[in-house]
Structure 1
Amino acid sequence: MARIPPAPELPEQPIPKRLWNLAALSGMASYLDAALIVSISVNLAIYRDSYDMGVWMAGAISAIVTICIAVGSLVGGRLADLFGRRRLYNLDILCYAFGALVITLAPNDIVLLAGVLVAGLAAGADLPTSLAVVSDAAPAHARGRLVAFTQVMWVLGIAVVIFLGFVLSTTGMTGARLITGHLAVAALLTWHLRSRLELHAEPEPSAAPAAADGPAGAGAAPHGVALRNVWNRATLLPMAATFVFYVTWGLGANTFGQFGTYLLVTVSDASQSLATGINLAFIPIGLLLTFAFVRFADSPWRDRLFYTAAAVQVGAFCVASLTAGALAGMLVFFVLYQLSHPFAGEANYKVWSQLTLPADTRGTTQGITYALSRGVFAVAAFFTPALLDRSPAVLLWSITACMAVAGFAGVFIVRVLLRHSPAVAAPADLKVARA
């Protein structure tokens, strides 16, 4: 049997501006998801002092935002497949704006918690829906680049909030309200622009199915949305593989996203300003290389670079583990991690999911993998501070092992699943036909 290349080798074709606009507006789901999590982390000490929170309430808010994103992903992805992705695409972002506004204006911790619930659920629901919308609209030769661009927005969300937190660090509750207020404004602007998008009319779920890899309408309602379509080998195998990759990689990324500054202060003996500055200083590397990933996302280099990046990423966590979190070792870690994660991280998960999961249940299936992964992240986050206090080395080596598992899962996806995926095979077949 002829081997199918891991990515199409056709000459790169230009992408229309309207599709880049769609990718940017859909990528706002990733921007607002990352920005919500990081803003809660940045503002938590301010909330604790201003609202006279107990330790349990402070912990609950940190955990609940992740749990709500998980539940929102599970429910939102399914609802999008059932009732139409375009409809949920606009509703999710409007609910997020309301939740962010409640957080911004909250007079006490109870109202703050209510806002976190609404914004978290809406952010989670928008993640699989927006990715499915982009994938539905994208022609096969451009799908990787358009889906990968949403990851640029994810990194940008982290960078903007950390930058605002650094600049507004001395302004107390005023700065905290400005940070979350910008999320409400960004969500409302996104909702306005999304509602004006000229998309093809949605067919009814019972309508004849469109080709899985053609440039279907961005909001097209999928066919065959019965749950039984999820429980078959063609769906379960790629769903399980992408889940294993994302959950093991995400345990490391989420831990350092939520507790990177905390680890630098409590384990590496860095000052608060130095720890924040280290995080801020290295983020531009990851952002620039995420742009580079977009450039390669529809070429064979996407998967070729994965092997090297995955090895470097495991090496980065090995350095952190071997030095037990010492400041010098952590500086090396941050450099290696920012150099590698754009080519062996969440961007790969997003692209691989769209290429391997069946088109008619993309919202449901990716919602499931998002939800289960975020649930695991929430549980891990609950125990992370205690484990850091007891044995930083155990935590760091555990994360290193997870990154190694993620690397093996990624190799399986590249060498097995992508080579048998119709979404990948189609462009190669087209190339043969043109020859």
Structure 2
Amino acid sequence: MSIDLNKPPAEHRKLTGWKSTAAVAMSNYIDSGSIIAIAASLGLWAEAYFPHDDGSIAGILTAFSSNAFGAAIGALIGGPLCDKYGRKFIYTYDLLVYAFGGLIVTFAVNVPMLFVGFVILGLAVGASVPAGWTYIAETAPTEKRGKHIGATQLAWSVGPVVGFGLAVVLAPLGLLGSRIIFAHLVVIALVTWYIRRNLEESVAWQAAKGGEGTKPPSAWASFRELLKRPANVKALLFLAAIYTLWNLAASQNGIFLPTILNSMGYDNQQSSLFSMVSWIVVTISTVVFMMLVDKISYRWFYFFGGAVAVISWIVLVFGPATSGATAFGYAILWGISAGPSAQAFYSIWSPELFATPYRAGAQGFVFFLVRTASGLISLIFPVILAQPNGLLKNGLILIGALLLATIIGTVFTPKTQNKPLEQIEMERYGEVISAQDL
């Protein structure tokens, strides 16, 4: 029996409200889940397939994964396609691609297979995540938009809790345990893909392209129009600055935290346990973020998250390396900061600051820049970490990046809170932007 990917689902099964938010938010679970699966298993893959690596192979593998270049390229391609063919178009295919990449990694027997699998996972993640933020922003109630988009952050934080939890439980199985972790992501991806078939297309997107049956505008025409407007260029620079700078530290925390803890004397199981504790705190902090983000000042909530993130890295870098209090203190503080983080606010501000015809494309462009920067630092981070005082050198760079992200986001916080997207569009452009004008 074949499945028609484009067959409309039965009316009574359509997903709306929180159900649709949950289905879309799973993009973030498999995004972070794949990053953490790589992080928790990288040492085991190295022992099996590149035991004499000086950090170069590990850097290349992580750089081209969902943590960096793979996701960057996927976002640059997927964002414009999402604006051209619709939000649901991405959901019809992206998780099938993800599952294919996950299967390659699950059964990998050498470095080339790992590389190909990591790249495919990254491409799928990159296409899916910006589409998710766009879809939720366009369908959520105005007064609860931050809370709904925050659900993507919640899913993103649950992924590492499960991933590191599985790493702790499956540690005695060695490399087989790592394969099981990737296999569980494949299953989650396929189940989510099936559920998402019942999503309705975004009404905002259909209206922007001129209604059902209208030929969609060229994706690159939309992109050119995006860059013509000064308001868009300013928004792109602002969002790229805060998200890229913050993500330099966050990406290394996500994929290299076990490596950092190993360098401090913790074994794989202990480092996974510490990492899991950190992500449990992230999950709690994200729930608090969802409860408060639509009710208190964007500016001061953002500042709080940024300040705590800076403090957490200061503790990790300058605290006693042999003290459990250092690792535990970092885990708690970083977890607290991750709720009201730059990524959390980026996921809200990015769909708010751009008009519907190029909303996903704009996010894809910024996401490309962010994950490209993550890829570049991933190439050098493990090499520097292996040097004398490596953690200090890397830490000072990342502390500086977090400090800049905090200052820029606090000073230039957008005034979009609790405003309908149409009102924001009028305030920013002086008119309602339509794809028919492109």
Same fold by TM-score, threshold 0.5 exceeded?
A: yes
SS in 1 for 2:339: helix
Equivalent residue letter for 1:22: S
For 2:225 and 2:419, locate their aligned partners in 1 and report how far apart those are by CA, in whole Å.
Answer: 17
Q: Please, which moves more after superposition, 74-83 or 180-189?
A: 74-83
Q: Hey, what does 1:309 align to over in structure 2?
A: 305
Instruction: Tell me by how many angstroms 1:146 deviates.
Output: 1.2
The answer to whether 1:293 aligns with 2:307 is no
Equivalent residue letter for 2:62: S
How far does the alpha carbon of each residue in 1:136-164 deviate from its partner, in whole angstroms, 9 at most, with x for none? 22232222111111010101111111111
Equivalent residue letter for 1:270: Y
How far does the alpha carbon of each residue in 1:180-219 deviate from its partner, in whole angstroms, 9 at most, with x for none? 111111111111000122446774874169xxxxxxxxxx
Instruction: Tell me by how many angstroms 1:290 deviates.
Output: 0.3
For 2:198 and 2:15, locate their aligned partners in 1 and report how far apart those are by CA, in whole Å.
Answer: 15
Relative to the length of structure 1, the TM-score reads 0.84
For 1:222 and 1:309, locate their aligned partners in 2 and report how far apart those are by CA, in whole Å.
Answer: 39
For 1:63 and 1:86, locate their aligned partners in 2 and report how far apart those are by CA, in whole Å.
Answer: 29
Q: Hey, what does 1:193 align to over in structure 2?
A: 195
Q: Hey, what does 1:411 align to over in structure 2?
A: 410
Relative to the length of structure 2, the TM-score reads 0.83
For 2:289 and 2:218, locate their aligned partners in 1 and report how far apart those are by CA, in whole Å.
Answer: 32
The answer to whether 1:128 aligns with 2:130 is yes
The one of 220, 224, 228 aligned to 2:224: 228
For 1:175 and 1:25, locate their aligned partners in 2 and report how far apart those are by CA, in whole Å.
Answer: 27
CA RMSD of aligned residues (A): 2.9
Q: Hey, what does 2:340 align to over in structure 1?
A: 343
Q: Hey, what does 1:46 align to over in structure 2?
A: 44
Q: Please, which moves more after superposition, 274-283 or 372-381?
A: 274-283
- Kept after mapping to 1: 8 A contact 2:42/2:58: yes
The one of 337, 357, 361 aligned to 2:358: 361
Instruction: Tell me by how many angstroms 1:46 deviates.
Output: 2.6
For 1:234 and 1:420, locate their aligned partners in 2 and report how far apart those are by CA, in whole Å.
Answer: 20
Q: Please, which moves more after superposition, 225-234 or 177-186?
A: 225-234
Instruction: Tell me by how many angstroms 1:234 deviates.
Output: 1.7
SS in 2 for 1:170: helix
Q: Which runs of 5+ in 2 are unaligned?
A: 1-13, 428-438
Equivalent residue letter for 1:293: F
Q: Hey, what does 1:9 align to over in structure 2?
A: none
Instruction: Tell me by how many angstroms 1:324 deviates.
Output: 6.8
- Kept after mapping to 1: 8 A contact 2:87/2:135: yes
- Kept after mapping to 2: 8 A contact 1:249/1:345: yes
The answer to whether 1:279 aligns with 2:278 is no
The answer to whether 1:148 aligns with 2:147 is no
* Identical residues among aligned pairs (%): 25
Q: Hey, what does 1:97 align to over in structure 2?
A: 99
The answer to whether 1:372 aligns with 2:369 is yes
Q: Please, which moves more after superposition, 368-377 or 40-49?
A: 40-49
- Kept after mapping to 2: 8 A contact 1:296/1:302: no
Instruction: Tell me by how many angstroms 1:264 deviates.
Output: 1.9
For 1:365 and 1:88, locate their aligned partners in 2 and report how far apart those are by CA, in whole Å.
Answer: 16
* Structure 1 pair 301–17 and aligned structure 2 pair: CA distance change class (3 A): farther
The answer to whether 1:184 aligns with 2:186 is yes
SS in 1 for 2:172: coil
- Kept after mapping to 2: 8 A contact 1:356/1:417: no
For 1:322 and 1:58, locate their aligned partners in 2 and report how far apart those are by CA, in whole Å.
Answer: 26
For 1:326 and 1:241, locate their aligned partners in 2 and report how far apart those are by CA, in whole Å.
Answer: 39
* Structure 1 pair 372–426 and aligned structure 2 pair: CA distance change class (3 A): closer
* Structure 1 pair 353–324 and aligned structure 2 pair: CA distance change class (3 A): farther
Q: Please, which moves more after superposition, 46-55 or 25-34?
A: 46-55
For 1:417 and 1:402, locate their aligned partners in 2 and report how far apart those are by CA, in whole Å.
Answer: 24
- Kept after mapping to 2: 8 A contact 1:325/1:393: no
Q: Hey, what does 2:10 align to over in structure 1?
A: none
Instruction: Tell me by how many angstroms 1:419 deviates.
Output: 7.8
SS in 1 for 2:266: coil
For 2:417 and 2:202, locate their aligned partners in 1 and report how far apart those are by CA, in whole Å.
Answer: 31
Instruction: Tell me by how many angstroms 1:101 deviates.
Output: 1.7
Q: Hey, what does 2:20 align to over in structure 1?
A: 22
Equivalent residue letter for 2:64: I
Q: Which portions of structure 1, spanning 4 or more consecutive aligned residues, are displaced by more than 6 angstroms?
A: 220-224, 419-422
Q: Hey, what does 1:323 align to over in structure 2?
A: 319
* Structure 1 pair 57–403 and aligned structure 2 pair: CA distance change class (3 A): closer
For 1:362 and 1:227, locate their aligned partners in 2 and report how far apart those are by CA, in whole Å.
Answer: 10
Equivalent residue letter for 1:36: S
Instruction: Tell me by how many angstroms 1:227 deviates.
Output: 2.0
For 2:250 and 2:384, locate their aligned partners in 1 and report how far apart those are by CA, in whole Å.
Answer: 17
Q: Please, which moves more after superposition, 86-95 or 275-284?
A: 275-284
Q: Which runs of 5+ in 1 are unaligned?
A: 1-15, 210-219, 430-435
For 1:263 and 1:182, locate their aligned partners in 2 and report how far apart those are by CA, in whole Å.
Answer: 26
SS in 1 for 2:112: helix
For 1:37 and 1:358, locate their aligned partners in 2 and report how far apart those are by CA, in whole Å.
Answer: 31
Instruction: Tell me by how many angstroms 1:335 deviates.
Output: 1.9
Equivalent residue letter for 2:405: A
- Kept after mapping to 2: 8 A contact 1:418/1:424: no
Instruction: Tell me by how many angstroms 1:310 deviates.
Output: 2.2
Equivalent residue letter for 2:338: H
SS in 2 for 1:357: coil
Q: Hey, what does 1:215 align to over in structure 2?
A: none
- Kept after mapping to 2: 8 A contact 1:324/1:393: no
Q: Hey, what does 1:114 align to over in structure 2?
A: 116
How far does the alpha carbon of each residue in 1:355-412 deviate from its partner, in whole angstroms, 9 at most, with x for none? 2222221111111111111111111111112322233222212211111111112113
For 2:114 and 2:383, locate their aligned partners in 1 and report how far apart those are by CA, in whole Å.
Answer: 25
For 1:98 and 1:344, locate their aligned partners in 2 and report how far apart those are by CA, in whole Å.
Answer: 31
For 1:21 and 1:413, locate their aligned partners in 2 and report how far apart those are by CA, in whole Å.
Answer: 33
* Structure 1 pair 109–344 and aligned structure 2 pair: CA distance change class (3 A): closer
Q: Hey, what does 2:388 align to over in structure 1?
A: 390
The one of 196, 210, 223 aligned to 1:207: 210
Q: What is the number of residues matched between the two proteins?
A: 401
Q: Hey, what does 2:64 align to over in structure 1?
A: 64
